[in-house]
Amino acid sequence: MDIKAQLLQLKEEIKKEVQGIFDEKVLNEIKVKYLGKKGLITSALKSLGSLSPEERKEVGQLANSIKEFLEETLKAKQEEIEKKKLEEILRKERLDISLPAEWFEPSASHPVLTTLKEITEIFKSMGFTVESGPEVEYEDYNFTMLNIPEHHPARDMQDTFYTSNGMLLRTHTSPVQIRSMLKKKPPFAIVAPGRVYRKDMDPTHSPMFHQIEGLMVDKNVSFKDLKGILKIFLENIFGNNIPIRFRPSYFPFTEPSAEVDVGCTVCKGKGCRVCKNTGWLEILGCGMVDPNVFKAVGIDPEEYTGFAFGLGIERIAMLRYQITDIRLLFTNDLRFNLQFRGIE
């Protein structure tokens, strides 16, 4: 067969071969087979040298036209494959917007979190900034620098979770007072909400619970300021006409110290089980920062004074929502949790 006939045959072969191919890899193989360095068309073009000048022109034109034909065919095929791929993707990813939506159970914000956020917001509105500290704390920050002596019962293994490396799970948020005073220069006013841990478990105690700590340090801060701030806070939480009383108390890190009670929200002061017939509910501890605490963090107690307070979030949440067992707050029973839907 002469070279012309061979080339024409090649063209027919190409047509057949390309038909029905929908795979890019196979398409590439065909390209190499005909147009590659050792490809059939390439070698045909190379062998032109052995022909007479007229033949060479004719065969050369033919070979080039086949080459063009092949290139165009491959290009068209390539486009066809890409179009098919796109169609496939569009088909698979099509959304049927007429399908009914999946039902999601509306969730509820946890009453502890709702209460914690609300309390924090009240103090923020009075200019307090929010600080935080770690839950695994140094014994020094949790006790020593807060003027809690070495043999204080709170330090006992019975009450405190100690970690194996000589640290502990903070038993209150008060160590954030120490951290803030080491970090900041007075004047400042901070609140520190967070989790605390104690070895305690009954209807009103949980081994993990939440507190919020408050601390204000400036020149001439007085007990009057403390009373004013706490009054505004308690009225925001319990309502404007809530009776409030300050009762002398003792905390190692404040002097003088007080506990604050509000009139029982359940019996309105008449006496009931919740207030143990006293008509009062104990809400928080507070006092003026003890000079020893100032000395421990390098603040001059002659120049500065301050007040501090601390309260348990769960207790407030339980009073507000009439929850009688603290453990209900931590069992993640949806029948309990979903009762608080829409409350935040």
Q: Which is nearer to ligand DAH, 114 or 254 (CB)?
A: 254
Shortest distance, CB of residue 101 to ligand DAH, whole angstroms?
A: 47
* CA–CA gap between residue 189 and residue 306 (Å, rounded): 9
Total residues interacting with ligand DAH, rule: CB under 6 A: 11
Rule CB under 6 A: say whether 309 interacts with ligand DAH.
yes
Q: Which is nearer to ligand DAH, 31 or 231 (CB)?
A: 231
Identify the burial level of 166 via C-beta atoms within 10 angstroms of its C-beta, where 0-12 means exposed, 13-18 middle and 19 or more buried: exposed
Shortest distance, CB of residue 191 to ligand DAH, whole angstroms?
A: 11
Angle at 153 between CA 299 and CA 207, to 5 degrees: 95
The bridge status of strand 254-263 relative to strand 244-251 is antiparallel
* CA–CA gap between residue 327 and residue 333 (Å, rounded): 11
Q: Which of 30, 169, 308, 319 binds ligand DAH (CB under 6 A)?
A: 308
What type of residue sits at position 273? Answer: R
Shortest distance, CB of residue 92 to ligand DAH, whole angstroms?
A: 59
Rule CB under 6 A: say whether 172 interacts with ligand DAH.
yes
Rule CB under 6 A: say whether 251 interacts with ligand DAH.
yes
What type of residue sits at position 207? Answer: P
CA dihedral 72, 73, 77, 80 (to 10 degrees): 70
* CA–CA gap between residue 282 and residue 286 (Å, rounded): 12
Shortest distance, CB of residue 160 to ligand DAH, whole angstroms?
A: 12
Which runs of consecutive H residues, i.e. helices, occur in the chain? Answer: 3-18, 24-35, 40-46, 53-92, 111-125, 139-142, 175-183, 223-238, 291-296, 313-321, 334-337
Rule CB under 6 A: say whether 213 interacts with ligand DAH.
yes
* Residue number, nearest CB to ligand DAH: 310
Q: Which is nearer to ligand DAH, 4 or 184 (CB)?
A: 184
Shortest distance, CB of residue 132 to ligand DAH, whole angstroms?
A: 15
Shortest distance, CB of residue 172 to ligand DAH, whole angstroms?
A: 3
Read off the tokens for 64. 């080039």
Beta bridge partners of 312: 211
Looking at residues 10 to 29 of the shown chain, list those that interact with ligand DAH (rule: CB under 6 A).
Answer: none
User: For the window 268-307, what string marks contact with ligand DAH as x by the rule CB under 6 A?
Assistant: -----------------xxx--------------------
Q: Which of 174, 180, 206, 305 binds ligand DAH (CB under 6 A)?
A: 174
User: Do 247 and 271 form a contact (C-beta atoms < 8 A)?
Assistant: no
Q: Which is nearer to ligand DAH, 174 or 206 (CB)?
A: 174
Shortest distance, CB of residue 107 to ligand DAH, whole angstroms?
A: 31
Shortest distance, CB of residue 287 to ligand DAH, whole angstroms?
A: 5
Q: Which is nearer to ligand DAH, 69 or 246 (CB)?
A: 246
What type of residue sits at position 112? Answer: V
* CA–CA gap between residue 198 and residue 84 (Å, rounded): 66
Can you give the binding site for ligand DAH, defined by CB under 6 A?
Answer: 172, 174, 213, 251, 254, 285-287, 308-310
